[in-house]
Amino acid sequence: MTAAPVLELRDVRKSFGPIEILHGIDFALHPGEVHALIGENGAGKSTIMKILGGFLEPTSGQVLLDGRPAPYASGAEAEAAGVVVIHQEFNLAPDLTVTENIWLGRELGRVFLDHKAMRAGTQALLDQLDTHISPEARIADLPVSDRQMVEIAKALSRKARVLIMDEPSAVLTQREVEILFRQIDRLREQGVALLYTSHRLEEVTRLADRITVLRDGAVVRRALRGELTEDGMATAMVGRDLQDIYPERRHSMGEVALEVRGFHVPPLVHDVSFTLRRGEVLGISGLVGSGRTELAEGLVGLRPATGDVRRNGVAVHIRSVRDAAHHGMAYLTEDRKERGLLLDKTLRENLTLSTLPRFGTPFISDAREETALTEAIGEFDIRAPRRDMKVGNLSGGNQQKLLLAKTLLPDPEIVIIDEPTRGIDVGTKSQIYAFINELASEGRSVIVISSDMPEILGLSDRVLVMRQGRLAGELEGERISETNVVRLVMGTSEGANGEAAHG
Amino acid sequence: MADQAVSRPASSFRLPSLSALGPLLALILLVALGAFLNDNFLSQGNITNVLARSAFIGMIAVGMTFVITSGGLDLSVGSMAAFIAGVMILAMNALLPSMGVGVPLILAGMGVALAVGLAAGLANGLLVTRAGIEPFIVTLGTMGIFRSLVTWLADGGTISLDFAVRQLYRPVYYSGLFGIAWPILVFALVAIAGQVAMRHTRFGRYCEAIGSNDKVARYSAVSVEGVRLATYVLLGLLVGLATIMYVPRLGSASGSTGMLWELEAIAAVIIGGTALKGGYGRVWGTVVGVLILSLIDNILNLADLVSPYLNGAIQGVIIVLAVVLQRGKKSSA
């Protein structure tokens, strides 16, 4: 121990409804240290950061600031106490200038604003960070890395003693990351306690004085600088057996249903080629922002894309969701609340929205819609207290089952499912896995895009890994293992049986 | 239990909720008040007068219901009506020497009105969907353009229909079928067709879906731009139809024709329970809204309870009240 911790969690548990997602976490941030918190998506990192930053209250356990119970109950109060969180989505007003943002809510001056003092204060902060951003620049005109700097300047202006950074490097280029690291080093020298999260393990090695590895809401490994290799980190993050929530796979694969060559979805996805067979479940893994969703949306005509796409050997051009449906392709979005379902409409209206022409012309047949809903409720085990309720009032799992029913209503031959179980309890998860498995055994082709590693491994016959908009590798059969996928996802140089070629 | 509850289809016949009945109750109260204050109120002459005057705004408001339901807005309809009336009268006067006074000339005039309405709606719709400009801005612009064009065509004065043609055209406003004036009949047909289209066709369902969340609609293979464009074109056509019924009433058009119709139409839609931000449309509610607005006007004119000059103030209170009541319902639900 170098010094007493500034901010500390003791035996913190957090439940959402009946599900406990943090199981007795002990975690401490020390002044003048960078503490890296790593783990797979869903391991509980964001929840811990939200609790530290005052955005969430723990269900039980203590949050201690300087050894005493933390005197804050909201993000704003935490900031006032010197605990500042830099979120992945920046908290800056895009139309205001750098100065206006930094002083937002604490403007200097009595009746009239003291522009001069605020400008000087901003300039001093920016100088301290050694950046050349103009205090008068509008946030909207700044590149992402500069916005990150403004966030840091804002945190400094609040006299941050604890700075919590949620994947700050995810949006930065390599050069910008270097600048960020220099600032982090500087803050560390000034005695600030830093929490750093990243999926890039080499950054953790470079920065962290302390590492805590999280898995399934519990701490599985604690280490000091130099005690853990990148490989060790990946193993610690992963080390988990597949539970039997996954159905047994007995897929007999047929002929090629979809062939994609040299597919580009500007600006992110480049030169992706793959094939998909009938009766196959193809997993696509990769970090958020690696282009998985963009690839899928490009394939079904939701984004402009170029490249060769063949359905059953015939070249097709898909420019809209309607074209995709015409060619027997359907896409289930990862964002069911904003892109998948009309939350203020009923189950029936949602179920039939994309296949409405089948329900009568010119007049929609209520009876046929009701029959379809009855079938969907039965087939997908949708549990709704009332048939005519608004979809927004359904639980996440039932929303997802309804969305699945909606997506499958046109009877597609190729189904692309983006994040099939995000924010869903484990019981519904296993139901959805069974549906996916059944789709494949009926001879359909399924693409499953997921950030959930066990899900990818438990469902897929074959796994594609995307990294920075390109295919980083393909794994099949025996070679589908967590370590191999993680290595491809992270781009660690050891390589997975020579598959981890970059690009 | 839960499963049982959902396995049974909901009964298809249900009473509308209290909030939906609100405007209807207000309408009934107004009628009772009118009858109480003036014996002439329920006479056939007065009822016909109120309904016939409501018809123009009413047809426009039905079209406006679709535009608003799909998340749009059209401020240009009043000016558009004036512009269509001006062009229609000029066209008929110009065709008079070659065609002579007769039904074909009237039909030609009607055709011109519908064509101009369609073109105007198409212009609004294309600017909104293709150019991607806010509907408020687009139609604020076209509102000024149409108004200015008709003033220019009239050279600052009035465009009048040839007297002989006017005599022939008059019955379209003043006469009717089975004792019901034509404008009322046409309005009734438009309202019924609108209600059916909103509730029972894909077009209505798509309008609600787009207004509710246009991203979801796009991801659900709905042609979002196409449907939006169609709502503006439909509204343009209905403005044309309303103008066809309106021109025989006065036989002229000027820079002040159709003044503030857009606000009355929007007000009727809102009073009727359609959400201004889109996502939910109620055509019969719009009809009730139109009737409420014209009844207030009529009652103030018949009874000397309150000065008719306060008409606008009372309508304003009703509009705000309608929205407040709807919001109260939402937060309690």
**Which of B7, B212, B222 is nearest residue A377 as measured by Cβ atoms?**
B7
- Note the pLDDT of residue B8: 44
In a domain, A359, yes or no: yes
Q: In whole angstroms, what is the distance from residue B220 CA to residue A121 CA? A: 51
Q: What is the average pLDDT value for chain A, to the nearest integer?
A: 86
Contacts of A353 in chain B (CB under 8 A): 205, 209, 216-217, 220, 222
Is residue B7 very low, low, confident or very high in pLDDT (cuts 50, 70, 90)? very low
Interface confidence, given as ipTM, is 0.84
On the question of pLDDT at B10 being above 70, the answer is: no
CA angle B186, B61, B205 (to 5 degrees): 95
Q: Considering only CB atoms, which residues of chain B are within 8 Å of chain A?
A: 2-3, 5-10, 12, 196, 200-202, 205-206, 208-209, 212-213, 215-223, 279-280
Phi, psi at B287, each rounded to 5°: -60, -45
Pairing of strands A314-315, A329-332: unpaired
Mutate which of A318, A327, A342, A377 to disrupt the B interface (most B C-beta within 10 Å)?
A342
In a domain, A122, yes or no: yes
- Of B34, B50, B77, nearest to B267 by C-alpha is B77
For residues A107 and A24, state if they share a domain: yes
Buried b / exposed e over B10-32, threshold 16 CB at 10 Å, is: eeeeeeeeeebebbbebbeebbe
* HSE of A361, CA atoms in CB hemisphere, 13 A: 4
In a domain, A1, yes or no: no
CB contact under 8 A, A383 and B6: yes
| Count of domains forming chain A | 3
A368 touches chain B (CB under 8 A): no
CB contact under 8 A, B219 and A340: yes
For residues A428 and A465, state if they share a domain: yes
Chain A's closest residue to B279, CA to CA, is A344
CB contact under 8 A, B3 and A325: no
CB contact under 8 A, A384 and B2: yes
Contacts of B194 in chain A (CB under 8 A): none
Do A139 and A96 form a contact (C-beta atoms < 8 A)? yes
What stretches of chain B adopt beta strand conformation (E)? 158-160, 176-177, 180-181, 252-254
pTM for the full model? 0.77
Q: How far B179 CA lies from chain A's nearest CA (Å)?
A: 32
CB contact under 8 A, A353 and B212: no
Chain A's closest residue to B196, CA to CA, is A363
Residue with tokens 């600088």: A225
Do A377 and A384 form a contact (C-beta atoms < 8 A)? yes
On the question of pLDDT at B332 being above 60, the answer is: no
- Note the pLDDT of residue A494: 46
Contacts of A354 in chain B (CB under 8 A): 220-222
**Bigger pLDDT: B87 or A92?**
B87
Residue with tokens 């003291």: A114
Single residue among A380, A411, A442 that ends a domain in this structure: A411
Size of interface A-B (CB pairs under 8 A): 89
CB contact under 8 A, A363 and B201: yes
CB contact under 8 A, B3 and A383: yes
CB contact under 8 A, A353 and B208: no
Do A501 and A491 form a contact (C-beta atoms < 8 A)? no
CB contact under 8 A, A363 and B220: no
For residues A113 and A221, state if they share a domain: yes
In a domain, A114, yes or no: yes
CB contact under 8 A, A353 and B205: yes
CB contact under 8 A, A363 and B196: yes
Question: Token pair for residue A400?
Answer: 């997802």
Pairing of strands A256-265, A68-69: unpaired
Single residue among A411, A438, A459 that ends a domain in this structure: A411
DSSP structure string for A325-348 = HHTTEEEE-S-IIIII--TTSBHH
A281 forms bridges with which residues in the sheet? Answer: A446
On the question of pLDDT at B167 being above 70, the answer is: yes
In a domain, A321, yes or no: yes
For residues A423 and A486, state if they share a domain: yes
CA angle A37, A39, A41 (to 5 degrees): 125
CB contact under 8 A, B218 and A302: yes
Q: In whole angstroms, what is the distance from residue B83 CA to residue B145 CA? A: 9
- Note the pLDDT of residue A112: 83
Q: How far B181 CA lies from chain A's nearest CA (Å)?
A: 30
Q: In whole angstroms, what is the distance from residue A34 CA to residue A31 CA? A: 9
A112 touches chain B (CB under 8 A): no
For residues A80 and A147, state if they share a domain: yes
What is the mean pLDDT, run by run of 10 residues, along chain A of 503 residues? 82 82 91 90 82 90 90 85 83 89 84 88 85 88 82 84 86 74 88 88 89 89 88 74 63 87 92 93 87 93 94 92 94 91 94 92 92 94 87 86 94 94 75 91 93 85 91 88 85 49 37
A273 forms bridges with which residues in the sheet? Answer: none
**Which of B5, B12, B279 is nearest residue A366 as measured by Cβ atoms?**
B12
Contacts of A383 in chain B (CB under 8 A): 2-3, 6
The burial class, CB within 10 Å (0-12 / 13-18 / 19+), for B94 is: exposed
Q: In whole angstroms, what is the distance from residue A186 CA to residue A189 CA? A: 5
- Of A300, A293, A305, nearest to A451 by C-alpha is A293
Tens of pLDDT, residue by residue over A243-297, are 566 777 767 788 999 999 999 998 889 999 999 999 999 999 988 778 899 999 9
Residue with tokens 């009923």: A346
**Which of A324, A361, A364 is nearest residue B205 as measured by Cβ atoms?**
A364
A364 touches chain B (CB under 8 A): yes
Q: Which domain holds residue A72?
A: 7-238
Residue with tokens 């009855």: A374
* HSE of A179, CA atoms in CB hemisphere, 13 A: 16
The burial class, CB within 10 Å (0-12 / 13-18 / 19+), for B58 is: buried
- Count each helix (H run) and each strand (E run) in chain A, helices first: 16, 20
Single residue among A386, A411, A436 that ends a domain in this structure: A411
Is residue B12 very low, low, confident or very high in pLDDT (cuts 50, 70, 90)? very low
For residues A27 and A128, state if they share a domain: yes
**Which of B202, B212, B221 is nearest residue A321 as measured by Cβ atoms?**
B221
For residues A92 and A27, state if they share a domain: yes
For residues A100 and A203, state if they share a domain: yes
3-class DSSP state of A220: strand
In a domain, A470, yes or no: yes
Q: In whole angstroms, what is the distance from residue A379 CA to residue A371 CA? A: 12
Range picked from B105-109, B276-280, B308-312 for highest mean pLDDT: B105-109
Do A20 and A218 form a contact (C-beta atoms < 8 A)? no
For residues A364 and A403, state if they share a domain: yes
Contacts of A333 in chain B (CB under 8 A): 219
Contacts of A356 in chain B (CB under 8 A): 202, 205-206
- Note the pLDDT of residue B21: 77
Q: What is the average pLDDT value for chain B, to the nearest integer?
A: 88
- Note the pLDDT of residue B3: 41
For residues A268 and A387, state if they share a domain: no
CB contact under 8 A, B212 and A354: no
For residues A92 and A134, state if they share a domain: yes
In a domain, A465, yes or no: yes
CB contact under 8 A, B202 and A388: no
Q: How far A180 CA lies from chain B's nearest CA (Å)?
A: 36
Is residue B16 very low, low, confident or very high in pLDDT (cuts 50, 70, 90)? low
Q: At what angle do helices B182-200 and B44-69 cross, to 10 degrees?
A: 30
Chain B's closest residue to A358, CA to CA, is B202
A409 touches chain B (CB under 8 A): no
Contacts of A377 in chain B (CB under 8 A): 6-7
CB contact under 8 A, B201 and A333: no
CB contact under 8 A, A354 and B209: no
CA angle A52, A58, A60 (to 5 degrees): 135
Contacts of A322 in chain B (CB under 8 A): 221, 223
In a domain, A456, yes or no: yes
Alpha helices in A270-390 (DSSP H): 292-299, 321-326, 347-352, 366-380
- Note the pLDDT of residue A495: 43
CB contact under 8 A, A339 and B217: no
Q: How far apart are the first and last CA of chain A?
A: 43
CATH of the domain at A217: 3.40.50.300
For residues A407 and A417, state if they share a domain: no
Question: Token pair for residue A1?
Answer: 């121990």
Contacts of A387 in chain B (CB under 8 A): 5-6, 8-10
Mutate which of A354, A401, A406 to disrupt the B interface (most B C-beta within 10 Å)?
A354
**What are the C-alpha distances in Å from B138 to residues A167, A244, B65, B116, B327?**
42, 58, 18, 18, 28
